[in-house]
Structure 1
Amino acid sequence: MPKYGKGLKCAILHDYLCEEFHKGKITRLQADRIFLESMLETKAFSKMKCYILYFAVRLFAKIKGYI
C-alpha cells in the first residue's frame, strides 16, 4: 500500500470497518465489500488490483475464521 493517497484511505476505512465487525455492528463480508467498493469508486488501483486485494482480505478472513 502506498504511504499516502486514495489507497491508504481505503485501507484505513477497512481497518475501521473491521473494528466495527469485532464489535458486532457489521459483518466481515460487509466490511470487505465496502473496501472493494471504495477502491473501485476512488480508482485507487486498477480494477484487477482492486479485486486481487479484495480476494486477499476475503482469504485472510476465511483463514482467521471470521467468515
Structure 2
Amino acid sequence: MLVPGKMKIADCTCLLCGSRLGLTISSVVTGDNRGACPMCGEPFLVSITREEMEQYIEAEEERPLREGR
C-alpha cells in the first residue's frame, strides 16, 4: 500500500492555475507569506503556523528537494 509522504513547502500550488508557487523552506517565514504565481501572476497568501513550519522542516529532512525539480 502506498502511503503519501509529508507535504513539503515546495508542494504548495496556485489555487487558480495549479502551478507550483516556487516556495522553498529558506524563502518562507512563520506567519504570512505573500507573492505572485510564477505562471499566471495571481497573488497568493500562504499563512504558516509554527507547527506547520516544523512539519515542513521535518518533511524536507526526510526527503530533500532534488536539484532541477
Structure 1 length-normalised TM: 0.36
Max radius of gyration: which structure? 2
The structure where strand makes up a greater share of residues is 2
Structure 2 length-normalised TM: 0.35
